[in-house]
Amino acid sequence: MNPAPEIPGTVVTVGAAPLRPADVVAVARHDARVEIAPEALERVATARSLVEGLAGDAVPHYGISTGFGALATTFIAPERRLQLQASLIRSHAAGTGAEVEREVVRALMLLRLQTLATGHTGVRPVVVETYAAMLNSGITPIVREYGSLGCSGDLAPLSHVALAAMGEGRVRNATGEEVDAADALAAGGITPLVLREKEGLALINGTDGMLGMLLLAIHDLSLLLDTADVAAAMSVESQLGTDAVFAADLQALRPQAGQAASAANLRAVLADSPIVASHRDPAVCTRVQDAYSLRCSPQVHGAARDTVDHARLIASRELAAAVDNPVITDDGRVESNGNFHGAPVAYVLDFLAIAVADVASISERRTDRALDPARSHGLPPFLAHEVGVDSGLMIAQYAAAGIVSELKRLAVPASVDSIPSSAMQEDHVSMGWAAARKLRRAIDGLARVLAIEVLTGARALDLRAPLQPGPATGAVRGLVRDAGVGGPGPDRFLSPDMEAVAGLVRSGAVAQAAYSATAR
C-alpha cells in the first residue's frame, strides 16, 4: 500500500540533501514547516559574492547585467538593474484564469526554494529565507491557471510567487482569506524583497510547477492503483469470477513487476471468500474463462504501476536538479544552459494520463458487466430492487462512462505541441504545465470511476446473500455502509452516495479497509 501521509507538524529541511517526494507532499498538503540547512545558506552566500563581482564587470553577463530572452544582448546600466528585476517579475506575472490549487502553489514554492538553496542561482540568503518564511506563515500567492509554456520553466506561475515576495499582488493568508501581499507579509513579520542582480531570473526560471504537480500525482496514483485492485476484486467476486488466473506462477510467466504486485493484491483481497469458493467446482461453474476486464485486471493495473514507477524515477532525478539559467557552477563559472526545458517532466505527465485513462476504462467495463443481467451471472438488471419501477445503478454507470470518455481526451499528449514565443528565441517549448493540469483533472476522474465500481461491487455483494464476501471485500462493504450509503432497496438519491464513496476512495479509506483485513 501507499505509505501514510506525513503527519502535520513535520519539519522539512531544505538544502542538506535533495527533497524526498514525501517532503513535498508534507509541505504542500499538510503545512509541514520548512527550515534551511546552515550549509545551504553558506553556499548561497558564496555564490552571491561571485554574482556581485560580475555585476561590476564591463563585460555583459546574461541575467546579471543584460535584459532577458530575446533582449539578452541589451546591456543594462547598474543604476537601472533594480528596476530591471522588478519589471521582469511584474511583466511575467501574466497568468490568467482560475486560481491554481493551494497545494500546487506550495509545492512549486518549496521546489523553487530547494533550487535557490543549492547555491547555483546566485541569489542572496535573504531571498531563500523569505521563501521559507512565506511557506511557514501560510502565505499562498494567487497563481492563475494559464500562462506557462513549460519553458523557460513555469515563468508566469513562478512570477506570481515572486511578485508576492516583493509585497505586490494578491495572496491568500493562512486562513484562506484573499488579501494584499504587502499586508500578509507584514502580518507574518516578513520584509518585502527588493530584488538585485540575477535574482528576478533565478526566482522564475524553473520547472517547479509541473514537477510539483507530478509529485502530487505520483502520490495520489500510488493510492488509487491500490484501490483499483480492491475494486477489481469486488467485481471479480460479486460477478462469480475466478481468482485462479491471478496465481503467482501464472503471473511469473510474464515477469512484469507491476503486474505481479497487482495480482498479489487481488489474491490477498479475494482470499477466504465464501463467494469465490462457492463456484470453484467445475460441476458448479462451467465457464472456461472470465472476460478480459476481470481476467486482465493485473495486466492493466500493473502496466499503470510500472508507468508510475518510471515517472517516480524521472521525478527523483528532477528533485536532485538545480534548474536555472544562467547557473553558477561549482568552479565559479556563470553559464547559460537549457536545463529549464520541461520535456523530461512533460513526457511522464502525459504518459501517466494515458495510464489513468486506461485504468478508468477497464474499471467502467467491470461496472457495466455487473449491471447487465446477460453478463452478471444472476444479478438483477442494474442491481435494481423492482425492475422496471427502479433504475438501480443504471445512471451511475452513465456517469462513469462520461468520465472515461473525458479521460480519453485528456490522454491526448500536451508535450507534442509547441508554440514559439519571445520573438522566436524560445522556439520550442514543452507544454509541461498544461500536461500537469490535465493530469490533475484525470486523477480526479479516475477516483470517481473507481468509487462507482466500489459502490456497484458493494451492492452486488449484498445481492449474493446468503453467500458472504471475503474478509477484505466485506470490510470495504462495511465501510461503505458505515458512510451512510444504502444497500439494495428502492431507488434513492444517488449522487450523495457516489460523492461519499468518492471521498472514501480519495482519502485512502477503501484501500486501508481492504488491506487491513488481509494477511499481508
> pLDDT value at position 73?
63
At residue 1 the predicted structure's pLDDT band, cuts being 50, 70 and 90, is very low
> pLDDT value at position 3?
40
> pLDDT value at position 71?
60
Question: What digits encode the pLDDT tens for the residues 153-177?
Answer: 899 999 999 999 999 999 999 999 9
> pLDDT value at position 72?
62
Question: What digits encode the pLDDT tens for the residues 277-326?
Answer: 998 877 666 677 899 999 999 999 999 999 999 999 999 999 999 999 88
Question: What digits encode the pLDDT tens for the residues 464-514?
Answer: 999 999 999 999 999 999 999 999 999 999 999 999 999 999 999 999 999
Minimum mean pLDDT among 53-62, 276-285, 390-399: which range? 53-62
Q: Is the pLDDT of residue 409 over 90?
A: yes
Q: Is the pLDDT of residue 64 over 80?
A: no
Residue 327 is given by DSSP the state E
> pLDDT value at position 332?
87
Active site residue 62: yes
Q: 3-state secondary structure string, 207-252? A: CHHHHHHHHHHHHHHHHHHHHHHHHHHHHHHHCCCCCHHHCHHHHH
* N-to-C CA span, the chain: 10
Chain position carrying cell 468509487: 451
Average pLDDT over residues 453-469: 97
Q: Is the pLDDT of residue 45 over 60?
A: yes
Coil vs helix vs strand at 241? coil
Minimum mean pLDDT among 103-112, 143-152, 186-195: which range? 143-152
Contact assessment for residue 318 and residue 111, using Cβ atoms and an 8 Å cutoff: no
Q: Is the pLDDT of residue 116 over 70?
A: yes
418 phi, psi to nearest 5 deg: -160, 130
> pLDDT value at position 77?
75
In order of 90, 380, 397, 483, the CA distances from 504 in angstroms are: 42, 26, 19, 9
> pLDDT value at position 58?
67
Residue 80 is given by DSSP the state G
Q: Which long-range contacts (CB under 8 A, 24 or more apart) does 64-69 make?
A: 64/122, 64/197, 64/198, 64/334, 65/197, 68/201, 69/152, 69/422, 69/423, 69/425, 69/426
Minimum mean pLDDT among 58-67, 68-77, 460-469, 498-507: which range? 68-77
> pLDDT value at position 185?
98
Mean pLDDT (the chain) is 93
Q: Is the pLDDT of residue 6 over 50?
A: no
At residue 67 the predicted structure's pLDDT band, cuts being 50, 70 and 90, is low
Q: Is the pLDDT of residue 5 over 90?
A: no
Other CB atoms within a 10 A radius of the CB of residue 228 amount to: 30
Separation CA 122–CA 299 (nearest Å): 48
339 phi, psi to nearest 5 deg: -70, -10
Q: Is the pLDDT of residue 68 over 70?
A: no
Percent of the chain with pLDDT over 70: 94
At residue 366 the predicted structure's pLDDT band, cuts being 50, 70 and 90, is very high
Chain position carrying cell 508510475: 308
The predicted model scores a pTM of 0.94
Q: What structural domains does the chain harbor?
A: 11-206 (1.10.275.10), 214-516 (1.20.200.10)
